[in-house]
Amino acid sequence: MPARQPAPARLGGPLLVGALAAGACAVVWVADPTTPGGLLPQCPTKALLGVDCPGCGALRMIYSLLHGDVLAAIRFNALAVVALGFLVVAFAAWTYGRIVDRRMVSWQHHKWAAPVTLAVVVVWFVLRIMPFAPFTALRV
């Protein structure tokens, strides 16, 4: 059985991911994707095909959440708000597991997680390109 690592060594991964996420949030905060013609590039799917991909609006959603505007975040990309919640839960379970030196089972370990996620993203993609209300309101 391998020797148990000290807690600071076990937390290297979560600390790195947290730092990268904080850095990405800082870039989104400074770049302000809600302002047209800003510093961030346009979505390649939107630029090449002219349709909103499932992730379109995610940067604006993050910007809105960073500023405490949950309703605007939902308007920009409701699926990304839900996905972010799931990612926070997975990150918290992973970090806690590293602290207590045990593998924590979270939602992503379920055998249906990947197929259900794929199905939801495909349905969301189709809904976002519907040419009638309320789906046309999803385009910003």
- pLDDT one-digit tens code per residue, 52-83: 788 888 999 999 999 999 999 998 899 999 99
- The parts of the chain modelled with pLDDT lower than 50 are 137, 140
The DSSP output letter for 140 is -
Q: How far is CA 113 from CA 8, 80, 86, 94, 108, in A?
A: 31, 16, 11, 16, 5
For position 139, what pLDDT does the model report? 52
- d(C-alpha 58, C-alpha 65), whole Å: 10
Residues with Cβ within 8 Å of 139's Cβ and at least 6 positions away in sequence, in order, are 52, 128
Please report, for the chain, the start and end positions of each structural domain, with discontinuous segments joined by +: 10-34+51-138
